[in-house]
Amino acid sequence: MIKTIPIQLPETVFSALCKNPEEFVQEMRIAAAVKWYELGNISQNKAAEIAGLTRVDFINALSRYEVDFMQYISEELTEEMENVD
């Protein structure tokens, strides 16, 4: 299920990133997901979901934002290692 949440932004903010409104909102989603991931608030999978990206694309976004993709806590690392084929 997808929920649409309207937000109000001044028209002048779109020029800040030289993006149209849809691109700006997508970049906001990515930036928020990257920051929450960096702070350890969400997993990489959840961050990718929030950003609307595949996990590989989210890892690339982390690189663009200069955030280390290895933000695992020990339980997450153990889970990832168990899922390796």
| pLDDT at site 73 | 63
Write out the chain's pLDDT in tens, 85 residues: 889 989 898 988 888 889 999 999 999 999 999 999 999 999 999 999 999 999 999 999 999 999 988 766 667 667 777 877 6
- The CA-atom distances, in angstroms, between 81 and each of 21, 42, 46, 77, 85 are 40, 18, 18, 6, 9
Sketch the domain layout of the chain as residue ranges: 19-82
Quick check: 58 and 44 in contact, CB under 8 A? yes
